[in-house]
Amino acid sequence: MPTFVHTGLQDVITEFAVMLVGQKGNDYSVLGTAIIIGPHIALTARHVAEEYIKRYDGIERLGELGGELSFALQAVQFLDTGMRGQTWDVRKIFYNRELTDVALLYLHPVNESQRTFQWRYPKIRLLPPAVGSMVSAFGYHSSVATLREDGVLQIGTNPSHHTGPSRRFTTTDAMRSCSPSRATGPMPRFDPGMSGGPVFGDGHLCGIICSNLLPENPGVGEHTSHVATLWPAMGVLVDFDRAGHPQGISYQAIELARDKFIDAVDWERVSVITNPNGTIRVECRVPGPA
């Protein structure tokens, strides 16, 4: 069975992949992993966001909440090969259950020095990688967060990665379009804290770790690891602040790619369509045979 291998905080991936920690009072818990894809923008698995919402306050969308909060979701970022770290408040969560297993997060500074932070983030490939190509997954494996008596938050983690061939992607190639797809392959079981972690292929972010399903007959078949592809998330309504756009006005995430607010390739192959009944569907055109 393929397994995740310890990476360590000295790897550059820890600057982009952040740990999501939920907090209410003195209760802290590591809920998953997220990947930064643009200034103040991160992706995670939808169920990570929903677990936070369910566990803490049942609020569907955090928004810009004023006053003193009794709950919080924070993204912990490790910098300078793990020598220092910083946290970001997750102030907004965007997702659409009908479209994708991916959620988008708005990261808000917790101090003034972060307002001039020089963001770095990976390139994104919206379409899935070719079947059989090598992909790598990363996450904060079996992590814990504990508030010490002296008021210091102590985090224990095992940042880990796995590399292997993608085995199967659910696509409808004959229609030159894709249905919301998940990749499956010989990935290891995704342990607590790894959900929402990034999957890379051919030097691009190409998916998000979502779930693990054990075989129907334990000890006989292989488990299935699900990785959400990224193009369906382009139909999610967001309202990240962008220069030249009114604040607080929602738009579809595909506009982030069009305006190069995120560094995405293949976005021209993605179409976001509003149906007559107001629902949204997303289509993508996969490359034809050479």
- Rounded to 10 degrees, what is the CA torsion of 166, 270, 12, 120? 180
Judge whether residue 169 has pLDDT over 50: no
pLDDT, residue 123, reads 95
Looking at every residue in the chain, the average pLDDT score rounds to 78
The larger pLDDT score, comparing residue 206 to residue 84, is at: 206
pLDDT, residue 71, reads 64
Judge whether residue 270 has pLDDT over 70: yes
CB 196 within 8 A of CB 32: yes
**What is the arithmetic mean of pLDDT over 104-119?**
92
Tell me the CB-side half-sphere exposure of residue 80, using CA atoms within 13 A. Answer: 4
pLDDT, residue 64, reads 40
- pLDDT tens readout for residues 8-59: 777 788 889 999 998 887 788 888 999 999 999 999 999 998 888 887 765 5
The larger pLDDT score, comparing residue 231 to residue 134, is at: 231
* Domains of the chain as residue ranges with CATH: 5-113 (2.40.10.10), 124-230 (2.40.10), 233-284 (no CATH)
Cα(182)–Cα(66) distance, rounded to whole angstroms? 38
The larger pLDDT score, comparing residue 217 to residue 263, is at: 263
- Residue percentage of the chain with pLDDT more than 90: 33
Tell me the CB-side half-sphere exposure of residue 248, using CA atoms within 13 A. Answer: 2
Judge whether residue 79 has pLDDT over 60: yes
pLDDT, residue 23, reads 83
pLDDT, residue 178, reads 40
pLDDT, residue 225, reads 65
Judge whether residue 155 has pLDDT over 60: yes
**Amino acid letter, residue 138:** F
Judge whether residue 109 has pLDDT over 80: yes
Judge whether residue 258 has pLDDT over 90: yes
Cα(43)–Cα(22) distance, rounded to whole angstroms? 16
pTM of the model: 0.83
CB 195 within 8 A of CB 33: yes
288 band by pLDDT with thresholds 50, 70 and 90: low
**Amino acid letter, residue 259:** D
The larger pLDDT score, comparing residue 145 to residue 121, is at: 121
C-alpha to C-alpha distances, 147 to 25, 33, 70, 81, nearest whole angstrom: 10, 20, 15, 24
- What string of DSSP letters covers 233-245? GGGSEE----TTS
DSSP state of 69: -
Judge whether residue 246 has pLDDT over 70: yes
Q: Locate tokens 């409808």: which residue?
A: 172
pLDDT, residue 191, reads 60
185 band by pLDDT with thresholds 50, 70 and 90: very low
Cα(65)–Cα(93) distance, rounded to whole angstroms? 12
pLDDT, residue 180, reads 45
**What is the arithmetic mean of pLDDT over 65-75?**
62
Among candidate residues 139, 156, 209, the one with its CA nearest the CA of residue 28: 156
- Residue percentage of the chain with pLDDT more than 70: 76
Most confident by average pLDDT, 29-33, 78-82, 252-256: 252-256
